[in-house]
């Protein structure tokens, strides 16, 4: 797969000195996509067809709702609901017909056939309807491009390598994305350097965050009430980001 190289956002994210530059890019992209889907593009035929087919996951439904464009959100949900209803009912009708047929068979025949297959297939199809998200798919495509750009800069720009080595590293999820794509886009020596850097950053950043988190909890002991917070006030938020690639509390990408 060929990816478009867009180095400026990646460089800007690394310069933020956050717990994970790719987390910032992911959140920034989510906001841009939310605005896009609530804007005029939703009236474009290809976009509307995709939204009708897939809809949005619970997380992105909440983000759409938070934008307070109730009319735009409702218009998308109305056409999506009509589209889903046809498939939903179709799968239920097939499962019902198969269950009736099976119920009418002699007990011995029911025992010797693979009972419940149609029910399970229908349930899986309905699960797929419920789990689809057009925004998740768009986000994954964009993040693949950003991960590829990180690796491209890693093998072509020594200044970028130095900047990453001096950063706070990456979260679990994005470390895995970098490792997975590195096998196809970096040579053996470049992979070694990347993995050595990821290992060092993981050790230092997790130790630092865990220490801050511990001090955050100890500050609730009255004996430490007058002691300084040091860097622990946002330790909980940083720990969640490092572990689960999400922001709680302040959202640094909201106004970017």
**Strand, helix or coil for residue 234:** coil
Report whether 42 contacts 51 (CB < 8 A): yes
Residues 6+ apart with CB under 8 A from 183: 191
The band of 186, judged by pLDDT with boundaries at 50, 70 and 90, is: very high
Higher pLDDT, 56 or 118: 56
Q: Is the pLDDT of residue 228 over 80?
A: yes
Q: What is the mean pLDDT of residues 127-152?
A: 96
**Residue 106 in this model has a pLDDT that exceeds 70:** no
3-state secondary structure of 48: helix
Radius of gyration of the chain (CA): 24
Which structure tokens are listed for 139? 């986000």
227 touches 219 (CB < 8 A): yes
Structural contact between residues 174 and 147, judged by C-beta atoms closer than 8 angstroms: yes
pLDDT level of residue 253 (50, 70, 90 thresholds) = confident
Q: Considering only residues 195 and 120, tell me which one the structure prediction assigns the higher pLDDT.
A: 195
Could you tell me the pTM of the whole model? 0.88
């Amino acid at each position: 797969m060929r990816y478009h190289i867009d180095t400026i956002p990646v460089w800007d994210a690394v310069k933020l000195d956050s717990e994970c530059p790719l987390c910032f890019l992911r959140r920034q992209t989510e906001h841009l996509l939310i605005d896009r889907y609530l804007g005029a593009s939703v009236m474009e035929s290809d976009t509307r067809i995709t939204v009708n087919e897939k809809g949005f996951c619970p997380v992105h439904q909440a983000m759409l709702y938070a934008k307070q464009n109730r009319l735009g959100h409702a218009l998308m949900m109305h056409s999506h609901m009509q589209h889903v209803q046809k498939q939903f009912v179709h799968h239920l009708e097939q499962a019902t017909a198969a269950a009736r047929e099976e119920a009418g068979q002699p007990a011995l025949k029911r025992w010797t056939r693979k009972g419940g297959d149609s029910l399970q297939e229908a349930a899986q199809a309905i699960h797929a309807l419920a789990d689809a998200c057009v925004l998740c798919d768009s986000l994954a495509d964009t993040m693949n491009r950003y991960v590829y750009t990180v690796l491209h800069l890693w093998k072509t720009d020594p200044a970028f390598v130095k900047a990453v080595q001096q950063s706070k590293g990456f979260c679990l999820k994005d470390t895995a994305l970098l490792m997975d794509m590195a096998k196809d886009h970096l040579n053996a020596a470049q992979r070694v350097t990347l993995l050595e850097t990821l290992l060092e950053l993981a050790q230092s950043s997790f130790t630092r965050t865990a220490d801050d988190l511990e001090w955050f909890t100890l500050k609730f002991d009255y004996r430490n009430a007058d002691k300084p917070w040091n860097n622990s006030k946002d330790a909980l938020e940083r720990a969640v980001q490092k572990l689960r690639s999400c922001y709680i509390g302040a959202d640094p990408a909201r106004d970017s």
